[in-house]
C-alpha cells in the first residue's frame, strides 16, 4: 500500500515537472519571439533611416562664391530719335566674381562685381563714331535654382545693377559739339530747311547709370557654370536737349543695354 502511494506521488511529481518544463519552454519561446520581433523592428527602422539619409539631398553651403568671365555685346536704345541716330553692337569683355547667399533649397541672392570693357558704334546721319568704355558693374540677382549637386543645377532670375565708368571716350566724342552749319537757301542753291534749334548743349552724355537685369544658366556638378545675362539701363545717359524759342526739347533718350555670355566656377 505504501509502495503504491509512493508510486502515485512519483508519477504526479513527474507530470508536474514536465508541465513546468513545457510552460518554461513556452515562455522562453514567447520571449524569443518578442525579441525577434523587436530586432526586426529595429532593423527596419535602421534601414529606413539609412535610406532616408541616402535619399536626403545635399545642398550647397549657405554662403559660397566663385569667379565669372565672359564676352559681351553692347549698344544704346534710342527713343525720340529726331536726329536719325543709330547704335550698333560691338564685342567687349568682363571679368569678376560673385557671392551666393542660399536662402532656401530653391532660392538664393547673388551679388556680383564685374569689371567690364564695352564697345559700340554710334552713328548720326552719315557719321559714325567708335565708342568704348571701361568700368565696373554691380548686379544683384534673385535666383531660383532647380536640380541637385549630383546632377547639376538650372538657375534663373532677375535683379538690378549699377554701372560705374572709370574711363571712356564718350565724353570726348560728344561733349562741346559745335553748332551745325546751317546753309540758308539762295537763288543758286536748292531750297533746304533752316534748323533754328540751338545745338550748343548737345550730347552731354553721363558715364554712370543703373537698370534691371535678367540671367539664366546651368551649373555642372563639378562647379563649372555657363551663364547668359541681359542688362538694360533705366536712366537716360544723354542729357540730349536743344532749345527752341526758350524751351528745352528732348531730342533723344539714350539707354545703354548689353548681352553677355560667359563661364564661371563656384568653390564647393
Residue 192 banded pLDDT, cuts 50, 70, 90? very low
According to DSSP, residue 196 is labeled -
CATH 3.40.309.10 fits domain 63-266 = no
pLDDT digits (tens, 9 = 90+) for 71-106: 999 998 888 765 667 888 899 999 999 999 999 989
pLDDT of the residue at 120: 87
pLDDT of the residue at 158: 97
Average of pLDDT values for 197-209?
A: 55
pLDDT of the residue at 229: 97
More confidently predicted of 195 and 30: 30
The answer to whether residues 109 and 103 touch, using CB atoms and an 8 Å cutoff, is yes
Task: List the domain boundaries for the chain.
Answer: 1-56, 63-266
pLDDT of the residue at 199: 41
pLDDT of the residue at 224: 95
Instruction: Output phi, psi for 127, to 5 deg.
Output: -115, 130
Rounded to an integer, what distance in angstroms lies between the CA atom of residue 83 and that of residue 247? 18
- Those residues with Cβ within 8 angstroms of residue 98's Cβ, 6 or more apart along the chain or in another chain: 65, 66, 67, 68, 110, 111, 112, 113, 264
pLDDT of the residue at 183: 40
pLDDT digits (tens, 9 = 90+) for 7-40: 655 555 665 555 555 555 555 566 666 666 666 6
- Does residue 114 sit in helix, strand or coil? strand
Amino acid at each position: 500500500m505504501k509502495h503504491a502511494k509512493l508510486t502515485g506521488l512519483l508519477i504526479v511529481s513527474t507530470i508536474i515537472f514536465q508541465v513546468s518544463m513545457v510552460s518554461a519552454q513556452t515562455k522562453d519561446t514567447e520571449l524569443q519571439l518578442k525579441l525577434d520581433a523587436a530586432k526586426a523592428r529595429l532593423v527596419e527602422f535602421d534601414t529606413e533611416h539609412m535610406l532616408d539619409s541616402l535619399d536626403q539631398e545635399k545642398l550647397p553651403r549657405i554662403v559660397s562664391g566663385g569667379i565669372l568671365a565672359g564676352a559681351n555685346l553692347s549698344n544704346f536704345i534710342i527713343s525720340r530719335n529726331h536726329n536719325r541716330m543709330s547704335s550698333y553692337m560691338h564685342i567687349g569683355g568682363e571679368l569678376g566674381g560673385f557671392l551666393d547667399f542660399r536662402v532656401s533649397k530653391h532660392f538664393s541672392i547673388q551679388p556680383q562685381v564685374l569689371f567690364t570693357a564695352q564697345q559700340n558704334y554710334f552713328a548720326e546721319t552719315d557719321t559714325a563714331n567708335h565708342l568704348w568704355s571701361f568700368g565696373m558693374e554691380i548686379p544683384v540677382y534673385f535666383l531660383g535654382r532647380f536640380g541637385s549637386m549630383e546632377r547639376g543645377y538650372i538657375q534663373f532670375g532677375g535683379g538690378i545693377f549699377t554701372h560705374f565708368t572709370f574711363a571712356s571716350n564718350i565724353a570726348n566724342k560728344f561733349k562741346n559739339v559745335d553748332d551745325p552749319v546751317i546753309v540758308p537757301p539762295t537763288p543758286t542753291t536748292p531750297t533746304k530747311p533752316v534748323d533754328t534749334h540751338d545745338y550748343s548743349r548737345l550730347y552731354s552724355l553721363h558715364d554712370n547709370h543703373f537698370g534691371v537685369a535678367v540671367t539664366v544658366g546651368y551649373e555642372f556638378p563639378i562647379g563649372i557654370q555657363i551663364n547668359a545675362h541681359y542688362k538694360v539701363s533705366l536712366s537716360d545717359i544723354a542729357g540730349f536737349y536743344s532749345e527752341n524759342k526758350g524751351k528745352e526739347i528732348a531730342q533723344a533718350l539714350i539707354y545703354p543695354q548689353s548681352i553677355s555670355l560667359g563661364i564661371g566656377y563656384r568653390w564647393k
